[in-house]
Structure 1
């Protein structure tokens, strides 16, 4: 079995001085990348391509995530902000273009079509989610479910390529890992009170808050101190820790008995970072 080294290979496409100096990039899709590599590496026919397939999928995902970071407000007056916005657009295009280049040079034209269809489906899901947000029709639970679907869709494109023994467990394991990932990101967001309109806490308070609290949330420039007090009142961070704990326990149950045994051990190892986060002092206090 080859060792997992996708982030190191991807670094030569991601770590450009101009990008690092003038803008920031989204997180590398570490959990989804490691999962895809682990399953492909057990494939009797595709093991030799596991590194290439995982690399290009990760680059496409980063490209889409980079475009998602571009502000929808086109009225950018500061030069630094304008340059950052432009570089996000160009960087997202560049990362996506590497997917076509690498696969075409490897003669994997069928995979280009498969991932292209996956990209279209991701964009469809994003548009639906955007409309639901715009119309304030989301519940907190639906928000998490929608986010998981958006993040897993590209990687689910590989479902038909995996060996038959993995047909049932691949989507389930991928979604559970990604749900844990989304909840962990929401915890970090709740602890910093940043981008509250794009958070689980926003939809939770909108669902259960008072009329005055809901009105406050609808203001684009809401008072951060008041928001923090609302977050504390509704125990947003605490509830997210509880959701993460429950999701991780469900994941552990699903991983028991997975065959081959070395795959089960590898998947359990990938999930250990969730355990370490849940066993930290802050998590212990919250749960």
Structure 2
């Protein structure tokens, strides 16, 4: 694989002093972007565009993720918080607009159409998921499945740009990597009560909890320490470790089954952070 430098290339579009000073941005979609770059690099004619295509897709994803961080209501009165909200909206629009500029200047008009369709599809999926959340009809399994589907939409749009020999493996490998990514982030968020309603743990507990616990979770301002005790009761973090371990094993099996041993080796190296995390003493104690 050629030297991977997409995060460095993206910095000049993402790292602005005003944004970094007044608001926070989502994580860079490292795993999905690196996967896309590796798969495109295998194409005999598309390999020369692997950096450009991976870069613009990452910028669009960062834009969408930045918009997702904007609070639903606009009732913020404190100036600092209001400025942060406004900058998230503007930054998300700016990041997303860069793909139009970069692809049009490179003459890839057809890809603009493909990515635009994927953006619409991802937003449609988000609306459906939010509706299920509002109606309390979402399960913990649905939460992971739908989150993964939303996060993979932009990258799945490149199925037609893959070399035929790897095209069939692309969707499943992308899904498994993204599932591991989602579960790893869920483990991190499970250790704090912040944004607990936007988590796998919340939907799992809503399925398993007794009437009083469910009522408490639905209250306006629940006590973080009480939420933490409920999470401990239902072993949320431990169960997420189990899910991540199972997903990683599925991913390894899939990668080992690839015909191309070179590709298998490259993809296994991308998944090493998951393996290292699951091998840490703290995680081994949990599991």
**TM exceeds 0.5?**
yes
**What's 2:206 paired with?**
206
**What's 1:183 paired with?**
183
Distance in structure 1 (CA, Å) of the matches to 2:195 and 2:282: 22
Distance in structure 2 (CA, Å) of the matches to 1:147 and 1:79: 32
Q: Does 1:61 align with 2:75?
A: no
**What's 1:101 paired with?**
101
Does structure 1 conserve the Cα–Cα contact (< 8 Å) formed by 2:183 and 2:240?
yes
**What's 1:41 paired with?**
41
Instruction: Out of 179-188 and 259-268, give the one that drifted further.
Output: 259-268
CA deviation after TM superposition for structure 1 residue 285, in Å: 1.1
CA deviation after TM superposition for structure 1 residue 258, in Å: 1.7
Unaligned stretches of 5+ residues in structure 2:
none
Cα deviations by residue, 1:231-278 (Å, 9 ceiling, x for unpaired)? 000000000000000000010000003232221111000000000110
Q: Does 1:90 align with 2:81?
A: no
Q: Secondary structure of the residue that 2:191 maps to in structure 1?
A: helix
Distance in structure 1 (CA, Å) of the matches to 2:33 and 2:69: 20
CA deviation after TM superposition for structure 1 residue 167, in Å: 2.4
Q: Secondary structure of the residue that 1:45 maps to in structure 2?
A: coil
Does structure 1 conserve the Cα–Cα contact (< 8 Å) formed by 2:37 and 2:50?
yes
Does structure 1 conserve the Cα–Cα contact (< 8 Å) formed by 2:63 and 2:93?
yes
CA deviation after TM superposition for structure 1 residue 129, in Å: 0.4
CA deviation after TM superposition for structure 1 residue 85, in Å: 0.5
Does structure 1 conserve the Cα–Cα contact (< 8 Å) formed by 2:192 and 2:228?
no
**What's 1:159 paired with?**
159
Cα deviations by residue, 1:74-109 (Å, 9 ceiling, x for unpaired)? 011010001100100000000011000000000000
Q: Secondary structure of the residue that 1:192 maps to in structure 2?
A: coil
CA RMSD of aligned residues (A): 0.8
Matches within 5 A, 1:1-287: 1-287=1-287
Distance in structure 2 (CA, Å) of the matches to 1:257 and 1:176: 14
Distance in structure 2 (CA, Å) of the matches to 1:94 and 1:220: 34
Q: Secondary structure of the residue that 1:230 maps to in structure 2?
A: helix
Instruction: Out of 273-282 and 56-65, give the one that drifted further.
Output: 273-282
Does structure 1 conserve the Cα–Cα contact (< 8 Å) formed by 2:28 and 2:62?
yes
Distance in structure 2 (CA, Å) of the matches to 1:48 and 1:35: 16
Distance in structure 1 (CA, Å) of the matches to 2:2 and 2:252: 25
CA deviation after TM superposition for structure 1 residue 39, in Å: 0.0
Unaligned stretches of 5+ residues in structure 1:
none
Aligned residues: 287
Distance in structure 2 (CA, Å) of the matches to 1:142 and 1:171: 19
Cα deviations by residue, 1:180-209 (Å, 9 ceiling, x for unpaired)? 000000000001222100001100000000
Q: Secondary structure of the residue that 2:52 maps to in structure 1?
A: helix
* Runs of 4+ residues over 4 Å off in structure 1: none
CA deviation after TM superposition for structure 1 residue 213, in Å: 0.5
